[in-house]
Amino acid sequence: MNFYLPSLMALLLSLSLHPPKPPQNPKLTSLNPPVPTSVLKTLNIRRQFIINSTSLCIILWAPQNPVPQSLAEPSTTSKPALNIANTKSWFQFYGDGFAIRVPPEFEDIMEPEDFNAGASLYGDKAKPRTFAARFASTDGSEVLSVVIRRTNQLKITFLEAQDITDLGSIKEAARIFVPGGATLYNARTIKIKEDEGFKTYYFYEFGRDEQHIALVATVNSGKAVIAGATAPQSKWDDDGVKLRSAALSLTVL
């Protein structure tokens, strides 16, 4: 029997709901070596979205976080495309097995301990990083984060997930990625063309505690890669397209 671990995702998301103070000396850098131009061209080609929408709905989730019935109902009509911006001119950050576009004027807010996490001394078990990447607006109210976790930390199973669908349908996986008490605005399955077929991503957009969150999740080699963009609900009308676009720019390498 598989057991979902929603508390982990709720904890990780709660950290994003309280934006940190902006850095005094902002510096947007990547710790990874330069990526060849050929790879960049390949990544751009891969960003061909084929969007299979399962539902466009507004649902108030109960604290127990039950699965909304509307997510389980098949779509009978085509849904409008997601409102996103062209991110090709944005800085592209390369992390551990992923890349993501960073909105203009966002600053790298990873702390030194975040980079040191993952290293082990004298054979001790390495402490996992809370975030694989984190950026914020100049006032710290809008945050873009990437989290990487082994899939067996999200759903207990003897087999490592190789695709996000191994964690369940978009309806079932919502128990993992959308915390209880959230208002779900949108849930979609997105397929991106790659050399060996299509990579599946799950997209969720929801509100919680006066915050609006756009979240994209996928699985690669037994690891879940999750990008979340958050902002106060009051700012979403102005900056929502930018933040949604940043989350949707997530690519696994």
Q: Could you tell me the domains of the chain?
A: 6-22+48-252 (3.40.1000.10)
Tell me the C-alpha distance between 16 and 18, whole Å: 5
Helix (H) or strand (E) holding 253: none
Interatomic CA distance for residues 75 and 53, integer angstroms: 7
Q: CA–CA distance from 234 to each of 92, 104, 184, 225, 239 (Å)? A: 27, 20, 17, 28, 10
Q: Place 155 in a pLDDT band, splitting at 50, 70 and 90.
A: confident
The tokens of 45 are what? 């080609």
Indicate whether 241 pLDDT > 50: yes
What pLDDT is recorded for position 48? 43
Is residue 253 pLDDT above 80, yes or no? Answer: yes
Helix (H) or strand (E) holding 196: none
Q: Which residue has the higher pLDDT, 40 or 90?
A: 90
Measured in Å, how far apart are the chain's first and last C-alpha atoms?
Answer: 32
pLDDT computed for residue 43 by the predictor = 46
The closest alpha carbon to 83, from 241, 246, 189, 207, belongs to 241
Cα torsion at 86, 87, 89, 91 (round to 10°)?
170
Q: Are 252 and 224 in contact (CB under 8 A)?
A: no
What's the pTM value of the predicted model, to 2 decimals?
A: 0.72
